[in-house]
Structure 1
Amino acid sequence: MTTPFTDREVAENRGATPGCTDDLVHLNHAGSSLPPQVVLDAQIGHLRREATIGGYEAAAEAVDRSAAVYDSIATMIGASAKEIARTEHATAAWNAAFWSIPMAPGQRIITHDHDYGANWVAFLRAAEVHGVEIDRVPSDVHGQIDLERLATALEHPDEVALVSLAWIPTSGGLVNPAAQVGALANAAEVPFLLDACQAAGQVEIDVDELGCDFLSATGRKFLRGPRGTGFLYARESILDRVTPSHPDHHGADWVSMDRFEYADGARRFEYWEHDHAGWLGLGAAVDHALELDIARVHATIDERAEQLRRGLDDAGMTVQDTGVERCGIVTSTHRSLSPAEVADRLTKASINVSTTMLGSARADLEPRGLTSMVRMSVHCTTTSDEIDRTLDVLRSL
């Protein structure tokens, strides 16, 4: 097994992160993590160049560093650089992939009850626009996607437009068996869109092992990059089967008055205008994660999350996480206080947490009779003392 970071190494990780202080406990990494100094340096340094010499000129000066970000992301997920597209956030990446997939009236979109609220809105809109149906594969007894039911849903692949899965959902500690879902989708030759919003930076990613045709991710969560950054992976072999829905003259070349040609590879999903400083900051975040070793980051997150779950039961909280494999997102409810009240008490104690609301995870929470949950999320900068401090506050409630 991979060894978690030692206390000394955690202290070193914290020392490289300006937001890690004794005055604040940050347990909201699934929302927006605390960036390391190298990310700030990359981002602020470029903004200063833009202010000093001009935006176009600063971009030209940084063209090699900007190109290197594609290589870094490709290294992190086991892809090639031409399969990476820059996006402004995970939803933009996911939508770029989703709306490129052909859909015919009567075809089904196969998904799991844990898919994210923004994705569900897209499913509903596709039902309005294309006449497709939403096929909800339920959870098994462990709370993860039921693979046997998925296999049955894929028995007639011509009837299926795509399989969509949230690898690590926003609404709990679940880690879905994405590679097994990919194997089933690949065997049926159905496009597989994987939402890795909460996975990137938290777990190791190998797109070949996962079997995904598309993978969407953000910078601001476990990657510890800037807000307003993200990326899309598009497998080269899927590109002939899909059509970007809103190309511009960066994602496509205007070759004559009445014709355009899509750019090579995943860049066809990009737009020309973007946050250059944010993109460079994202590259710095990816490089930093690779330097730390994401396998060890993962092991440390698991260790802290399990420590938190064990302590919550003794602190008057009920852990609501599901799944065989669980992650650094820990959700819970209090026996008498609302999640909003618990979050407010923790905030007053300088402990950052979040709440998962019904509108983000209705298909998961509604059947369980839940309207919201307290969401705490740890990282490789989280200390055991911070967990204990949080549990002490919860006990005092």
Structure 2
Amino acid sequence: MLPSQRHLFSIPDDVTYLDAAYMSPIPNGAAEAGRDGVLVKAAPWDMTINAYYDGPERARELAASFIGASIDDVGVIPATSYGIAVAAVNVPVAPGSVIIMMDNEHTSHRYAWYELARKKGATVVTVPRKADEDWGYALASAIRNSPAPVAVVAGTIVHWFEGMSVDIEAVAGAAHAVGAALVMDGTQWVGAVPFDVAKVRPDFLSFATYKFLLGPYRLAFLYADKKWQEAGSPIEFHSWNRKGGERSDFYLETMPDYLAGGRRFDMGERSDFAVLPIAISALELLQSWGAQPVYERLVHLNKLIWQEAEARGFGGPPANLRAPHISVVELGERFSSDLAKNLKDNKAFVTVRGTKMRITPHVYNEERDISRLFELVDTLTR
């Protein structure tokens, strides 16, 4: 099994950081790459035209490798919500149709659909889940039994707030069967859980880098299915995503055609000389470990979390419904309103929402981080 990679990060010995689903630290090598990238702009007279192209293409290629896609399938974008906005501009939504999502879906994958429904005369349907029911089953049932045509399904493989897995293949099967577009948010799992777009066939999959991909803030990627690569509309208009946009005389004539594939969805100023090097270094490091070894490491650490939680009588999702890389522990009566602050004061970092404690390790964590966290919880919740 892949051992802890803590030595590649600047995490002080007395810090217990178990909050990757909030924001991961970047590896030391990526931080150094970012510092070098900043200096590119400090001396623009030394830049070459390749500086505008090499970084985006390498980042695009690496991002594609984490979802089973090709380099041509992916656009370089600034945020998950940007990618969802691109999807919302493109997917067909007829008046009277419905857009289906899980109850309490993340806001980056929620608000765009309410806006689209309002404009198109459609309705957003939020699907609840019965106790001990899989989210995938609940969504698939809602799709199959919808009295109105289903235009869009907002999908993912994990409920971000509950730490529960979603059988996305069941959801995708139901969506495809009724002709609905499947739009996915991968920010809480790309880099942690192996995934293949060929099996699920989403229309769009948007994912940021600052969580499980160990990358920078303000950078994301957008996978687009082949049909959208050929006919999709971007939400920004500039020369970087146009055929011929690289020509030195690009301004002399209007170029109507877009670049091939997902590049048509690239954001303006995609060639961020400081941000892209951080992402490239982090993604190369993750790729060097391999998707399966990283996944197995996270599964191992999350099993340890549940051993500690269950030994104390804490609750959570049924074992068969838990996400493999995110643990959401229900503290119940042991919860105290000052828990998050007290943990932080003791240099232990998790996300506390309501009476739930979301614990999300990554490869920089050691087994002792988990035992220390629960020892602190014992002390702080007596």
Bin of the TM-score, shorter chain as denominator length: 0.7 to 0.9
Q: Is 1:175 matched with 2:161?
A: no
Aligned to 2:21: 30
Aligned to 2:206: 216
Q: CA deviation at 1:177?
A: 1.0
Q: CA deviation at 1:192?
A: 1.0
Q: CA deviation at 1:79?
A: 1.1
Q: CA deviation at 1:162?
A: 1.4
Aligned-pair identity in percent equals 20
Which deviates more from structure 2 when the two are superposed, residues 334-343 or residues 44-53? 334-343
**Matching of residues 312-327 of structure 1 within 5 Å:** 312-315=309-312, 317-319=314-316, 324-327=321-324
Q: CA deviation at 1:355?
A: 2.9
Equivalent-residue separation in structure 1 for 2:265 and 2:148 (angstroms): 26
Q: Is 1:99 matched with 2:89?
A: yes
Q: Is the 8 A contact 1:168 1:197 kept in 2?
A: no
Letter in 1 for 2:6: R
Equivalent-residue separation in structure 1 for 2:118 and 2:187 (angstroms): 26
Q: Deviations over 1:250-276 (max 9, x none)?
A: 345699989843433112222221433
Q: CA deviation at 1:89?
A: 1.8
Aligned to 2:10: 18
Three-state SS of the structure 1 residue aligned to 2:135 is: coil
Aligned to 1:280: 277
Letter in 1 for 2:190: A
Equivalent-residue separation in structure 1 for 2:165 and 2:196 (angstroms): 15
Three-state SS of the structure 1 residue aligned to 2:155 is: strand
Equivalent-residue separation in structure 2 for 1:391 and 1:279 (angstroms): 37
Which deviates more from structure 2 when the two are superposed, residues 284-293 or residues 219-228? 284-293
Aligned to 1:67: 57
Extract unaligned runs of 5+ from structure 2. none
Q: Is the 8 A contact 2:80 2:108 kept in 1?
A: no
Q: Is 1:41 matched with 2:32?
A: yes
Distance 1:311-1:283 versus aligned 2 partners, 3 A rule: same
Q: Is the 8 A contact 1:143 1:323 kept in 2?
A: no
Three-state SS of the structure 2 residue aligned to 1:186 is: helix
Q: Is the 8 A contact 2:201 2:225 kept in 1?
A: no
Distance 1:88-1:321 versus aligned 2 partners, 3 A rule: farther
Equivalent-residue separation in structure 1 for 2:200 and 2:147 (angstroms): 19
Which deviates more from structure 2 when the two are superposed, residues 382-391 or residues 332-341? 332-341
TM-score, structure 2 normalization:
0.87
Letter in 1 for 2:321: V
Equivalent-residue separation in structure 2 for 1:319 and 1:210 (angstroms): 28
Distance 1:71-1:245 versus aligned 2 partners, 3 A rule: closer
Q: Is 1:118 matched with 2:108?
A: yes
From 185, 189, 203, the equivalent of 2:179 is 189
- Give the 4+ runs in structure 1 shifted more than 6 A: 155-158, 253-259
Q: Is the 8 A contact 2:208 2:219 kept in 1?
A: yes
Q: Is the 8 A contact 1:59 1:276 kept in 2?
A: no
Q: Is 1:379 matched with 2:362?
A: yes
Equivalent-residue separation in structure 2 for 1:328 and 1:151 (angstroms): 26
Kindly report the root-mean-square deviation, in angstroms, between the aligned alpha carbons of the 2 structures: 2.9
Distance 1:151-1:262 versus aligned 2 partners, 3 A rule: farther
Equivalent-residue separation in structure 2 for 1:157 and 1:73 (angstroms): 38
Three-state SS of the structure 1 residue aligned to 2:90 is: coil
Q: CA deviation at 1:290?
A: 1.2
Aligned to 1:368: none
Equivalent-residue separation in structure 2 for 1:223 and 1:50 (angstroms): 25
**Matching of residues 1-397 of structure 1 within 5 Å:** 4-5=1-2, 9-10=3-4, 13-19=5-11, 21-53=12-44, 57=47, 60-61=50-51, 63-139=53-129, 141-147=131-137, 150=140, 153-154=143-144, 159-240=149-230, 242-252=232-242, 260-274=256-270, 275-315=272-312, 317-319=314-316, 324-336=321-333, 341-356=338-353, 371=354, 373-397=356-380
Q: Is the 8 A contact 1:173 1:321 kept in 2?
A: no
Q: Is the 8 A contact 2:55 2:276 kept in 1?
A: no
TM-score, structure 1 normalization:
0.84
Q: Is the 8 A contact 1:219 1:229 kept in 2?
A: yes
Distance 1:151-1:394 versus aligned 2 partners, 3 A rule: closer
Extract unaligned runs of 5+ from structure 1. 357-370
Equivalent-residue separation in structure 1 for 2:258 and 2:231 (angstroms): 13
Q: Is the 8 A contact 1:71 1:81 kept in 2?
A: yes
